[in-house]
Amino acid sequence: MPTEIRAVDVRVDARWIAPVEPPGTLLERHSVLASQGKIVDVLPTASVGSTYHARQHVDLPDHLLIPGLVNLHTHAAMTLLRGLADDRPLMDWLQNHIWPAEMRLASPEFVYDGTLLACAEMLRGGVTCFNDMYFFPEAAAQAVVASGMRGALGMIVVEFRSPYATDAGDYLSKGIALRDSLRGEPRLSFCLAPHAPYSVSDATFARIAIYAGELNIPVHIHLHETADEIRDSLAAHGLRPLRRLQSHGLLGPGLIAVHAVHVTQEEMELLAAHGCHVAHCPASNLKLASGIAPVEELRRHRVNVGIGTDGAASNNRLDLLADMRLAALLAKGVSGDATAVAAHEVLEMATLSGARALALDDKIGSLVAGKHADMVAIDLSALELSPCYDPLSHLVYAAGRRHVTHVWVDGELLVENGALTRLDPREIVANAVLWKDRIRIEDRGSRIE
């Protein structure tokens, strides 16, 4: 009997597909079929016609198709502060420029416009999901929903007053209320986001541990970013920051340690033993002279490591493809091992590893049947990418975000031939220019032209 032909919503034919699972797999001349936002099948293109009929068919004869990239750490609204007070040490940059500007300007409007700008940039660079930490997360949520991408919204907690909240208890209550009100949004998830050990008290950490256990959600925190952070923690608490978190019961498979630049062998073993995750932000760490995270050693200890851009104020780009290349090169240089963090491994770090840290790996991070159809197409036919011997190598070491042509989230095409389908770039840029004028006035010590 003839095989029944199934109707699907989307069919994408590609020259190559890197599904990420199984690790290192590269499929040639295959297709992804999706319906109702989820992947139905991945099979050779030659056999699709006898099995499926698609309402939308996209043929990509020179492209590599990969899962949507997961930006494991950023402060999206701070894209409006891109380039403000560059070339300064971390604490000078924070205390004398970034924090004062934020305290005067942070508002729902600032966060919405800044986050929408970030979403537009990230989508055009192949990022389909990002893990955020900033004030007014309800405004960030509105921007994420408008963009169509995925956002893991951080319920930020610090001890100091801001335009958003008065104290740590106020931050927590507002964050949890927001989570409760938006739990029905399918492309949103949530993290508890205590800013850092130096900005959160022991009493607040104890409360966060309770909430994390009750709500079963990740804890997203800057940790071991600088040598000064560790020295100050020893002076104030008699403990290194990681041990301090352990004393409050915060180490576990829900912890996302952002940066983890200054970690000892014992601390790597501790992270591994508790199933913690690390968000590696190579460009930001270099720009702020924080150091270089020992990524290859962390991975050898079986710590799950994803990749983040950090905010555009400390990286200047929300370009995860660029950070993938940097992560691979730094790992080789630091370890003295040219085989460290191979191309297929860094792709996994930027997709499935990030999804795993956010407890979303059952939904996104790889192109397999049953997962959501979050996909990115990279055109490998450009002059600067010719010839192409190994598409995965080209993806990491040669290609860039300018080669991203198509981006889907839940099977919805959000970038088509390099153009955003939901968002208006002209309007977004015009709003950013208006904010620049206000920010320049507020930061009188900056060198902005």
Based on the domain organization, do 208 and 107 belong to the same domain?
yes
pLDDT at 440: 82
Based on the domain organization, do 286 and 400 belong to the same domain?
no
Which residue range forms the structural domain that includes residue 408?
6-67+371-417
What backbone torsions phi and psi does residue 42 show, to the nearest 5 degrees? Answer: -130, 115
Based on the domain organization, do 242 and 390 belong to the same domain?
no
The alpha-helical segments, DSSP class H, found in 152-239 are: 168-182, 202-215, 227-237
CA-nearest of 397, 396, 398, 403 to 385 is 398
Per the structure, how many domains does the chain have?
A: 2
pLDDT at 130: 98
pLDDT at 444: 60
Based on the domain organization, do 114 and 125 belong to the same domain?
yes
pLDDT at 111: 98
The alpha-helical segments, DSSP class H, found in 265-315 are: 265-273, 282-287, 295-300, 312-315
Helix (H, G, I), strand (E, B), or coil: what is residue 332? helix
Based on the domain organization, do 95 and 31 belong to the same domain?
no
- Per-residue pLDDT reduced to its tens digit, 397-415: 999 999 999 999 999 999 9
Pairing of strands 375-379, 52-67: antiparallel
**DSSP classification of residue 63:** E
| DSSP element (H, E) containing 59 | strand 52-67
CATH number at residue 204: 3.20.20.140
Mean residue pLDDT across the chain: 95
pLDDT at 299: 97
List, in sequence order, every residue forming a beta bridge with 59; answer none if it has no partner.
13
Please give the structure tokens belonging to residue 240.
Answer: 């290194």
Please give the structure tokens belonging to residue 85.
Answer: 């007070």
Based on the domain organization, do 31 and 78 belong to the same domain?
no
Task: Determine how many CB atoms are found less than 10 A away from the CB of residue 70.
Answer: 31
- Per-residue pLDDT reduced to its tens digit, 202-233: 999 999 999 999 999 999 999 999 999 999 99
Q: How far apart are CA 155 and CA 190, in angstroms?
A: 7
Based on the domain organization, do 213 and 140 belong to the same domain?
yes
Q: Tokens 């004398």 appear where?
A: 96
Q: How far apart are CA 381 and CA 401, in angstroms?
A: 14
Residue ranges in the chain whose pLDDT is less than 70: 1-3, 443-449
Q: How far apart are CA 25 and CA 229, in angstroms?
A: 41
pLDDT at 3: 65
In a domain, 30, yes or no: yes
Based on the domain organization, do 349 and 397 belong to the same domain?
no
